[in-house]
Amino acid sequence: MGLTVSDAPALPAPALFQVPNRHSAACGAPPPWIAAALREPACLCMYFENALGEQWVAALDADCVRVAGGDIGWSTLEVCRAADVEMAVRELRTPAPVFCNTVVNNEEAAWLVCVLLTAASFWRKLGFLIAEETKHEAT
């Protein structure tokens, strides 16, 4: 049974695990929102690393899902609307997956689809997708 936003502890819990940045300094520093998201109880944080040490992080809150990866210089990619989640998932499920105009490999695409589906589920639970879903059902 998972935690809900209302079950989240008032104070940050000790870290479950810590991960070193495996990318070279040439890739830049990870964005500051990552550390801030880890301290925010109402934020869902996700991590991906493949066998080559390529790392991606994501943070999901009530407004947006933010994603950054070392291979793209830790640039932040954002998806903040339900319609954008749907379109991004479609683009990631193609033979040449793309996310926010960034080419990704199949492993990264699979992880990003999981991140986006988690975002859609999270926002649905918060009631943000109800109006859009009702509109689609009517057509």
> Any idea where the domains of the chain sit in the sequence?
29-138
What pLDDT is attached to residue 8?
56
Give the model's pLDDT for residue 83.
Answer: 82
pLDDT of residue 27: 85
Instruction: Note the pLDDT of residue 28.
Output: 87
**Gap between the Cα atoms of 13 and 23, Å rounded:** 27
How far is the C-alpha of 120 from the C-alpha of 117, rounded, in Å?
A: 5
- Are the C-beta atoms of 8 and 41 separated by less than 8 Å? yes
Region of residue 16 (left: phi > 0; alpha: psi -120 to 50; beta: else): alpha
Helix (H/G/I), strand (E/B), else coil: 15: coil
Helix (H) or strand (E) holding 35: helix 33-39
Using a cut of 0.85, tell me whether the model's pTM lies above it: no
pLDDT given for residue 130 in this prediction: 45
Q: What confidence tens digit (pLDDT) does each residue in 24-43 have? A: 888 888 889 988 888 888 88
pLDDT of residue 59: 94
Predicted confidence at residue 25, as pLDDT, reads 84
pLDDT of amino acid 10 = 60
- Neighbouring CB atoms inside 10 A of 24's CB total 8
Residues of the chain with pLDDT under 50: 1, 130-134, 136-137
Q: What is the pLDDT of residue 29?
A: 87
